[in-house]
């Protein structure tokens, strides 16, 4: 699998941190964004990219749940036979096969384009939150004191990890569709 680009740019992170463009250490920001993006993608089980895949999915009562959001379906095959366009239809992220096979173990092999053209704003914000924690507080300090000056960073140390509330926010992106991928991905 090729390396996916970060979910946000260094410029977006600088804007998020409210620092002048070009003033943040670019290498540190880029690394923090790669790590944060990987954490978010892993938890969401979603790449947040648009792609075309061929997947094998279970047919249940004539219905096939597609990994979404679905943009288009190019072809559908059942039991090695490509179905004509009149043999299936799509409603949102669900595909319906007009004559479902009796064998419940049968799969539909579907070639489709799906995913996100742009990163959703809530995912972008969450990625920037995680990356900024890594940039602003790389040592995961809770509090730092120098003489009479004291700075509190957080009540809990999160650094480059996801808080439970952040994991909860990503739950809606988790695709529950059981998928068998064909070939390399």
Closest CA to 49 of 71, 73, 16: 71
Give the CA distances from residue 135 to residues 27, 28, 129, 146, in Å, rounded to whole numbers and listed in that order: 10, 7, 10, 21
Residues 6 or more apart whose CB falls under 8 angstroms from that of 110 comprise 54, 55, 56, 57, 64, 66, 73, 75, 76, 77, 95
Distance CA 142, CA 77 (A): 56
pLDDT tens digits, the chain, 185 residues: what are they? 458 999 999 999 999 999 999 998 999 999 999 999 999 999 999 999 999 999 999 888 889 999 889 999 999 998 888 999 888 999 999 999 986 555 566 889 999 999 999 999 999 999 999 999 888 766 565 666 788 887 765 555 556 789 899 999 999 998 655 555 555 54
């Amino acid at each position: 699998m090729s390396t996916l680009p970060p979910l946000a740019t260094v410029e977006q992170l600088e804007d998020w941190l409210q620092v002048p463009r070009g003033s943040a250490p670019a290498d540190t920001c880029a690394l923090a964004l790669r790590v944060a993006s990987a954490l978010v993608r892993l938890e969401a089980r979603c790449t947040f990219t648009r792609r075309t895949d061929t997947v094998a999915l279970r047919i249940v009562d004539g219905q096939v749940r597609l990994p979404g959001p679905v943009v288009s379906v190019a072809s559908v095959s059942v039991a090695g036979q490509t179905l004509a366009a009149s043999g299936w239809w799509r409603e949102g992220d669900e595909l319906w096969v007009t004559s479902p096979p009796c064998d419940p173990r049968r799969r539909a092999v579907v070639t489709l384009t799906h995913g996100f053209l742009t990163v959703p704003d809530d995912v972008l914000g969450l990625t920037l939150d995680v990356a900024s924690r890594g940039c602003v507080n790389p040592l995961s300090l809770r509090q730092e004191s120098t003489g009479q000056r004291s700075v509190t960073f957080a009540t809990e140390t999160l650094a480059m990890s996801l808080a439970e509330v952040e994991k909860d926010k990503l739950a809606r992106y988790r695709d529950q569709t059981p998928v068998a991928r064909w070939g390399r991905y």
